[in-house]
Amino acid sequence: MQSYKSANNKILLSIIIANYNTKEILKLCLNNLIKIPLNIEIIVVDNASTDGSAQMVSKEFKNVVLYKSTNKGISAAYNLGFKKSRGDFILYLGSDAFPTKESLSENIRFLQQNKKVGAVTSALYLENGKLDLDAHRGIPTPWVALTHFLYLDRVFSKSKIFSGYFLGYKDMQVPHAVGLCISHYLLVKREVILKLNGWDEDFFVFGEDVDFCYRLQQIGFFIYYLPNCKVKHLKGVSVGTRKHSTNVSTASITTKKRMRKLSTNAMRMFYKKHFMHKYPFYVTYPVFAATYIMEFLRGIKK
């Protein structure tokens, strides 16, 4: 495979990980990354973890750049990591994601060859072998969100009208543009991040990737999903809100409840920022009502 080098002897790829209390998974993640023979730097921004994550990185991974931060959220951690980075390309990576040299090389090649593509993601696979469809999503307009929460996208999974949430009508065997993907595996050109002025730090956790991807497309770039690049994803380890992450999650009950509330709050924040001026009140009021109902239901969930 082609050897990739950055211009002016700079770092080709900066990998930025925002960590919060995922010590053991983070250790596995870093052990995977340091074995990848590419011109990369690894930056861990630790958001005031209490499980010894920062101490572990400092002691066991001397070549990993570590920044200790107060916990201002994932967006703030990403911005801090970017300010310290030197790479031509930036990979925002969850501590629960495990890329390979092949996936990273192909991702970078695709970005280098496509001027109007500002970011790419890969096919993320859960432990059970299923695709993580949060890496393959459309922009959550009121209609798209409605069809998803009414399960219409499951019933009519190949319909352009009803399956806009997970873009079920797309050919999953070939590269194609998507509306957004989760920030646990998002590879972006440095120039694009500079044009966006980074991540919106009003999004503490959840919604930061939706906002980032939406703004990226607003300035004229595309996000591409590359199905031939496969990445393992132990989803939900830090927040513990997913069924498939229950056995490996280190999140406390308090953290889980807080995350559920933050997820619906992020929905309202995104709508207020990008859609409130586009839709009339008789759309906006039901949207907000739905998020509060969802928040209540998630709050009483065991």
Q: What is the DSSP string of 112-174?
A: HH-TTEEEEEEEEE-TTS-B-GGGSB----HHHHHHHHTTHHHHTTT-TTT-TTTTTTS-TTS
Name the least confident of 47-56, 201-210, 251-260.
251-260
Fill in the DSSP letter of residue 220. Answer: T
One-letter amino acid at 90 equals I
pLDDT for 271 equals 95
Q: Looking at residues 238-246, what average pLDDT do you find?
A: 51
Q: Is the pLDDT of residue 255 over 80?
A: no
Percent of the chain with pLDDT over 70: 88
Question: What value, to the nearest 5°, has the Cα angle with vertex 173 and ends 121 and 224?
Answer: 25
pLDDT for 295 equals 81
Distance CA 7, CA 190 (A): 13
Terminus-to-terminus CA distance in the chain, angstroms? 49
**Alpha carbon of residue 199 to chain centroid:** 12
One-letter amino acid at 83 equals K
The per-residue pLDDT for range 91-149, each reduced to its tens digit, is 999 999 999 999 999 999 999 999 999 999 999 999 999 999 999 999 999 999 999 98
pLDDT for 262 equals 72
Distance CA 27, CA 203 (A): 26
Confidence band for 239, pLDDT divided at 50, 70 and 90: low
* Helix and strand element counts for the chain (H, E): 10, 9
Distance CA 226, CA 103 (A): 9
pLDDT for 52 equals 96
pLDDT for 7 equals 43
Crossing angle between the packed helical segments 74-84 and 208-218, to the nearest 10 degrees: 60
pLDDT for 257 equals 66
Q: Is the pLDDT of residue 6 over 50?
A: no
Exposed, middle or buried, 38 (CB in 10 Å: 0-12/13-18/19+)? middle
Higher pLDDT pick, 60 / 296: 60
Average pLDDT, the chain: 90
